[in-house]
Structures are given as C-alpha cells and as structure tokens.
C-alpha cells in the first residue's frame, strides 16, 4: 500500500492539531470535513478543508444526506472520494485522536488476502478484550443483553481484508452509563498492549458482530457506499436526543454486507491515543434510545440481509434498504417495532436507500 494511494478523512468543528498527524506521511491526502462552517484552515501539507458551501455544491439536491453537528459529517468525504478521486484506500480519524509510530504500516493489511486468526462465537465480540487489562470493560455499543459469559473459539480462515478498525487507548470508547456507574470505565489507560496485532471477526458462516467505533478505521475503495454513518437526532423525543449510534449502526450494516461477500473484517493495530472524555450527561441522554432501539434495528437488518442477492457493495446497500422500505408494513408487524422507533428506522432507511443509489448513478 503506497501512501499516495491513501486518503485520510477527519470530521471536525475545530482546528486540526498537526502533532496528532505526526505519523501520517505528507504523501497521504488529508480531507477535513468542516462542521463549523468555515473556521478550519489547512495547517499542513496536502490538506484540504470542505466547508458547508463546498458540500452543498457537490451534493446538490442530496445535501440533506450529510448529517451535521456530529462526526457523521464525514459521509461527505466518502461521496467526494468516490465521485472525484481514484484513491484505493480510505482511512478515517476523529480529531481528538493522536497517531503513533507505524500508524500507516498497520493499515497495509487492507486489500490483502490473508490467513487470519478468526473469532468464532455466538453473538458479539467485545473489542476491548483485545487489550491485556485487569478489569472487564465493554466497548461502547456492545449490547447489554450480550453481557454474559460466552464461549468463543478461534480458527484460521482466509479472506480479503476489506475493512479494518484500529484500536484506541488513554480514554477508552465506552458507554456513558458505564462511565457514570463504574470507576474502571472512567480511568485513563495508557499504552495498552494488544493480545494479537490483528484478528478477523467472523465469517459468512459465523457472522460474529463487534461494536464499530469510527475513531480509527480504514477500508478499500469498494466499501465507500456502505460505511455511511447514520444521521442522529438532536431532538428525538421528550428531552432526549439520539446520539452516539451513528457508527455502531453503520458498523452493523457494513459487517453484514461484508459477510455476504465473504470478505474479511479485522480489528487490532494501530492503537491511537484518544485524547479526551466527552460530556458525560449529554452522552447518557444521547445513548439511551440507542440502547432501546438496537434490538429492533439489528433484527430488521438481519431480515433484509437474508433476502438480497450478492452483488456489488453499492447494489447490496441500496437493495438492503430498498427491501426494508418495500416490506415496511410486514417488517414493523413481524418485529413489533414501537411507533417511535419505527419512525426513525423507516425515515433513515429512505435516506440510506437514496445514499446507495447515489453510488450507482455516480
């Protein structure tokens, strides 16, 4: 993987700290999606900043598909890369994440067909278990209903690495309620050591899921249509927002489609430093309805994934949400989805179907 073949996407509302990108070579193009509408300026070689005006110009009538005031604004860069560049590999970092030595080298697994240690387990894999910690800590988005002892095994499988999630230490990415209740969740963890540099998560026969955190990840170009981060809602219902599930739900869809294609999803190195804690109260309010809605959403995605043909990633993404829209009444009844949840799922499925079609038309 050549540095010149890679592009790095950063969503932000503030000036980018150049020191955080110390281990990103100058040859790597950096695209900053400016969610402050004009306060961010390029401050290192080969960096470009996209303000709202530029986003409107590129997206046209589909500008409403770009979420704002959330890290999901990075979606704009994904469409821009697809339509206006030929980069083979796409990386993404949050603006409070600091790279370390060998950051780029660890992502060289992308696009390679490798024999990998593969997690075979019922249900979900907790990404923080990759670290050698003394306390049991669950990653943000790991379902509470999966928090029980599960026997898992590992076996060698071979597949093309289509998507890789790097890890993060110092401030671990965990649920706000856990940070509020348990002191081990609100501690600083410096220089965490991985049990294995890289592992594969599940296969098409064993579709293990993991909670995807969008702080540090990369993928091959073909996946640009399916890594869309979900739109959240500042006012979801009485005094509650819906927040911090944009990447978790995106990851569930992405993993489901990659399994259908029999490609590989991996996690592990590089470990970046996550610099700061967020607003705990705001995070708790934002996550609450995400907890409640997730079981319905996962069941619906599983249903749709069983009923679409294997095709290009863009086609499968559009087909998956097209299936949900076409069978909306039946699906809502089958899974007894509450009206409040269904309103979000249906409206969002309509947007995501449009998003997938953009890549078929581009």
Q: Which domains does the chain have, with CATH numbers?
A: 3-361 (3.90.550)
Is the pLDDT reported for residue 329 higher than 60?
A: yes
Looking at residue 295, the DSSP 8-state letter turns out to be H
pLDDT of 222 reads 98
The average confidence (pLDDT) of the chain is 96
Residue with tokens 């990633």: 313
At residue 235, does pLDDT exceed 80?
yes
pLDDT tens figures, 126-182? 999 999 999 999 999 999 999 988 777 899 999 999 999 999 999 999 999 999 999
pLDDT in the model for residue 126: 96
Q: Taking residues 289-308, what's their average pLDDT?
A: 98
Average pLDDT over residues 2-28: 97
pLDDT at 37: 85
CB 16 within 8 A of CB 93: no
As separate numbers, helices (DSSP H) first and strands (DSSP E) second, the chain gives 9, 12
Confidence of residue 6 (pLDDT cuts 50, 70, 90): very high
Give one DSSP letter per residue of 170-237, joined into a string: ES----HHHHHH-GGGGS-B-S--BSSSEEEE--SSS--B----TTEEEEEGGGGGG-PPPP-EEEEE
| Three-class DSSP category at 117 | strand
The answer to whether residues 140 and 211 touch, using CB atoms and an 8 Å cutoff, is: yes
Taking the C-alpha atoms of residue 166 and residue 197, their distance in angstroms, rounded to an integer, is 10
**Does the pTM exceed 0.95?**
yes
User: Is pLDDT at 1 greater than 90 in this prediction?
Assistant: no
Which residue matches tokens 């993060």?
168
Residue among 67, 82, 248 at smallest CA distance from 174 = 248
Q: How far, CA to CA in Å, does 125 sit from each of 170, 217, 344?
A: 21, 17, 27
Per-residue pLDDT at 170: 98
Rounded Cα gap, residues 296 and 323, in angstroms: 16
Confidence of residue 362 (pLDDT cuts 50, 70, 90): low
The stretch 221-232 carries a mean pLDDT of 98
- Rounded CA-CA distance 330/341 in Å is 15
What pLDDT is attached to residue 151? 78
**Closest C-alpha among 124, 130, 202 to residue 162:** 202
> Distance (Å, rounded) from C-alpha 33 to C-alpha 11?
5
pLDDT digits (tens, 9 = 90+) for 87-116: 999 999 999 999 999 999 999 999 999 999
pLDDT-above-70 percentage for the chain? 100
Report the percent of the chain where pLDDT is more than 90: 95
pLDDT in tens, 52-81: 999 999 999 999 999 999 999 999 999 999
């Amino acid at each position: 993987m050549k540095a010149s073949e890679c592009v790095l996407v950063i969503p932000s509302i503030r000036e980018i700290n150049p020191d955080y990108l110390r281990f990103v070579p100058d040859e790597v193009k950096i695209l900053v999606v400016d969610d402050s509408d004009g306060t961010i300026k390029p401050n290192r070689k080969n960096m470009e900043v996209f303000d709202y005006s530029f986003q409107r110009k590129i997206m046209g009538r589909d500008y409403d598909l770009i979420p704002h005031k959330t890290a999901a604004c990075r979606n704009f860069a994904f469409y821009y890369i697809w339509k206006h560049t030929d980069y083979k590999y796409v990386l993404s970092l949050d603006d409070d994440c600091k790279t370390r030595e060998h950051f780029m080298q660890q992502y060289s697994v992308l696009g390679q067909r490798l024999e990998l240690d593969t997690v075979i387990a019922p249900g979900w894999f907790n990404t923080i278990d990759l670290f050698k910690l003394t306390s049991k800590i669950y990653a943000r988005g790991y379902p509470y209903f999966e928090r029980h002892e599960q026997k898992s095994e590992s076996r060698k499988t071979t597949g093309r690495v289509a998507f890789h999630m790097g890890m993060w230490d110092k401030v671990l990415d965990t649920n706000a309620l856990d940070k509020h209740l348990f002191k081990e969740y609100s501690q600083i963890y410096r220089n965490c050591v991985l049990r294995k540099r890289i592992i594969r998560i599940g296969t098409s026969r064993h579709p293990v899921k993991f909670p995807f955190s969008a702080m540090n990840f990369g993928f091959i170009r073909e996946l640009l249509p399916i890594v869309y981060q979900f739109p959240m809602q500042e006012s979801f219902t009485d005094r509650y927002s819906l927040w911090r599930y944009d990447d978790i739900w995106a990851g569930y869809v992405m993993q489901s489609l990659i399994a259908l294609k029999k490609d590989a999803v991996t996690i592990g190195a590089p470990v970046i430093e996550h610099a700061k804690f967020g607003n705990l109260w705001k995070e708790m309010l934002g996550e609450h309805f995400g907890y409640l809605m997730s079981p319905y959403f996962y069941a619906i995605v599983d249903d749709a994934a069983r009923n679409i043909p294997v095709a290009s990633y863009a086609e499968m993404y559009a087909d998956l949400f097209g299936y949900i829209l076409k069978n909306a009444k039946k699906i809502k009844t089958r899974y007894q989805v509450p009206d409040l949840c269904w309103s979000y799922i249906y409206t969002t499925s309509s947007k995501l179907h449009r998003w997938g079609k953009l890549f078929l038309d581009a």
